[in-house]
């Protein structure tokens, strides 16, 4: 096996959700910050939670505002 080609592996990578450690896993990074995990997902908990997606919707609206979908008569 070649040396110095593989990334460093962390056996105790901490997974954070809302600033709290929720589990430890093996990974190539020392910390992982997640927005949703099985302990907070409505499918597993049975409770509804709010996930902030307003920024994505506003970005989409800005991108496709105006005459973006208007057909160009010059191209035929």
- Note the pLDDT of residue 46: 72
At 12 the pLDDT is: 93
In a domain, 3, yes or no: no
Angstrom CA distances, 74 to 67, 68, 71, stand at: 15, 15, 9
Q: What whole-number distance in Å separates Cα of residue 54 and Cα of residue 51?
A: 9
Would you say residue 16 lies in a domain?
A: yes
Is the model's pLDDT at 73 over the cut of 80? no
Instruction: Give the chain's domain count.
Output: 1
Range of the domain at 58: 10-63
Q: 54-72 b/e with 16+ CB inside 10 Å = b?
A: eeeeeeeeeeeeeeeeeee
Determine contact, residues 45/39, Cβ cutoff 8 Å. Answer: yes
Higher pLDDT residue, 28 or 71? 28
Predicted local distance difference test score (pLDDT) of residue 51: 60
């Amino acid at each position: 096996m070649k040396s110095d080609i593989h990334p460093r592996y962390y056996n105790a990578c901490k997974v954070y959700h809302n600033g709290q450690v929720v589990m430890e896993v093996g990974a190539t990074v020392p910390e992982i910050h997640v927005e949703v995990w099985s302990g907070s997902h409505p499918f597993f908990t049975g409770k509804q939670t709010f996930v902030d997606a307003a920024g994505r919707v506003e970005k989409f609206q800005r991108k496709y505002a105006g005459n973006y979908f208007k057909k160009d008569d010059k191209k035929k």
